[in-house]
Structure 1
Amino acid sequence: MSPNHGLVLLARGGYAARGVVYLIIGIFALLAALGSGQPADSHSSLESLLSQPFGHFLVAIVIVGLAAFAAWRVLQALRDVDDHGNSFKGLVIRAGLFVGGVTYGALAFFALGLLVSGLQQSGGGGGGQAQDLLASVLAWDHSNLLVYLAALVPLGVGVTHIIKGWKASFEQYFEADAEVMHYVRPVSQFGLIARGVAFIEIAVLLVVSGSSYQAMHPPGIKDALNGLERLPMGGLLMGVVALGLIAFSVYSFAEAAWRNINMDVPGTATSASR
């Protein structure tokens, strides 16, 4: 197997790992909308996966996938393998990809800590010891301005996802025939828009709480879903977003299968796609 081909397989595994995480989040959110539980975030979804039969093995696979996905996101940003360019728009997209790489790298690190603590047979508390960098920063005195600045990240991600879903611009990166895209396109659009809505709500939660937020736990997907539940017809709204997050997991699995992946990495032979 050539080095590039191996890297492509790792990147595809990364998309699949993201799909697993969002599938679990979506299922928990759907159950919560039906009154049968509480929403989950990416951390608690991994904790749930660890508790399943062969959970340690499954989490280990997800760790490899998330780490590979983080590396792929950083490569997309720094090497511009998707040709976003150096315009203002292109640099914003690449910055978002880089932040995504850091975020998924942190999630992989959290999952590794969870796996190690599980192997050491500590009951349920691996996640409680994880100190999030954003939480540390927001715990400083007079940090509300930093909160508002941090809110720009999920706001930008949310708006980008909604535009990407509405325009179906993701199609340019897919190597699938028209029959496949006939099914993939609407599901992916729904999933991207739903994830965008969730991220915009995270930004709103950050802004609203900016002057008083004591951040040992910055708001995430779980908080956004809980916020939806408190709105009029909240159960219905959360159910729709939950289905959208499941649709986003399908989009991630579709990327794992059909996305064009160009591995233009220094020191390897030639760039590779599928």
Structure 2
Amino acid sequence: MSTQQSLIALARGGYAARGVLYLIIGIFALLAALDSTKPKDSEKSLEALLSQPFGYVLVALVVIGLFAYAVWRVFQAVRDVDHHGKRFKGLVIRAGLLAGGLFNGGLAFFALGLLISGIRRSGDSQGGQTRDLLAHVLSWEESNLLVYLIAIVPLGVGIAHIIKGWKASFEKYFEADEEVMQYVRPVSRLGLMARGVVFIEIGLLLILSGSNYQALHPPGMKDALDALQNLPAGGLVLMLMALGLIAFSVYSFAEAAWRKINVM
């Protein structure tokens, strides 16, 4: 297999792994709409997946896919294979791709730790390292300013997702005929906008916490979905958002199948 073919396989496998991960999160969020004790975020969902039949095999496949996706995102950002350019907008998009690669790489390492060390021991070790790092960083005199700066990332990603879903601008990267796109388009738009809402919520939670930010519990997807569940008719809202995240998984699978993969 040539280098070009390997990169294409890496990219498609990565998109498929992202689809699997969001399918798992969406399903658990859907169950959480009926039972608030169910997990809602990526790490807890992976832990819960391990307890299922063939859980270790499934998580191992997700680990491989997430590493592939992380490498592909970094490659996209560094080599600019989608030609975003060096203007401000292009650099922002590429920075988002790089951040996505680093995040998914970290998540892959977390899942790998679950496989190697077992759920309880790995979860305690990983969580301890994260808490220690956050406690150190947030002990700085201007740490609340850092929190506000960090909040810009999920806010920007969320707004970009909503715009991308609303305008259906993702279509220019697809190699599929209209017969396929008439089904892919509406589901993808819903999925992108749902994920955008979750990211905006994470950013807002960071901003609202400000100087009261808790080093031991940084807000994430679980907190965003919990906030939705606490709204009036929160169970219904969470159920709709869960369906949106499942729609985003369908969008990811569609990218795995039909996205143009530029490697030059």
TM-score bracket for the superposition, by shorter chain length: over 0.9
Stretch deviating more after TM superposition (36-45 or 141-150):
36-45
How many angstroms apart in 2 are the aligned matches of 1:201 and 1:226?
10
Equivalent positions of 1:72-111 (< 5 A) are 72-111=72-111
- Shift of the alpha carbon at 1:58? 1.6
- Shift of the alpha carbon at 1:8? 1.1
Residues 113-170 of structure 1: per-residue CA shift (max 9 Å, x gap) = 111113xxxx534223213387355532441111111100100010000000000000
- Shift of the alpha carbon at 1:243? 0.6
Instruction: Give the corresponding residue for 2:251.
Output: 251
- Residues 179 and 240 of structure 1: is their aligned pair in 2 closer, same or farther, counting only changes over 3 Å? same
Instruction: Give the corresponding residue for 1:140.
Output: 139
Equivalent positions of 1:34-73 (< 5 A) are 34-35=34-35, 37-73=37-73
TM-score under structure 1 length normalisation: 0.90
- Shift of the alpha carbon at 1:77? 0.7
Q: Which amino acid aligns with 1:83?
A: H
Q: Which amino acid aligns with 1:206?
A: L
How many angstroms apart in 2 are the aligned matches of 1:21 and 1:3?
27
Q: Which amino acid aligns with 1:179?
A: E
Instruction: Give the corresponding residue for 1:271.
Output: none
Root-mean-square deviation (CA), in Å?
Answer: 1.6
Instruction: Give the corresponding residue for 1:171.
Output: 171
TM-score under structure 2 length normalisation: 0.94
Residues 68-93 of structure 1: per-residue CA shift (max 9 Å, x gap) = 10111111111110111111111110
Question: How many aligned positions are there?
Answer: 260
Instruction: Give the corresponding residue for 2:225.
Output: 225
Residues 42-70 of structure 1: per-residue CA shift (max 9 Å, x gap) = 11111122222222222111111101101
Residues 236-255 of structure 1: per-residue CA shift (max 9 Å, x gap) = 21111111000001101111
Give yes or no for contact 1:81–1:262 (8 Å, CA) kept in 2: yes
Give yes or no for contact 1:225–1:238 (8 Å, CA) kept in 2: yes
Stretch deviating more after TM superposition (197-206 or 55-64):
55-64
Give yes or no for contact 1:73–1:98 (8 Å, CA) kept in 2: yes
Instruction: Give the corresponding residue for 2:123.
Output: 127
Residues 4-40 of structure 1: per-residue CA shift (max 9 Å, x gap) = 2122112111111111111111111111212364342
SS at match of 2:206: helix
* Structure number having the greater helix percentage: 2
How many angstroms apart in 2 are the aligned matches of 1:68 and 1:35?
33
How many angstroms apart in 2 are the aligned matches of 1:167 and 1:137?
42
Stretch deviating more after TM superposition (145-154 or 128-137):
128-137
SS at match of 2:120: coil
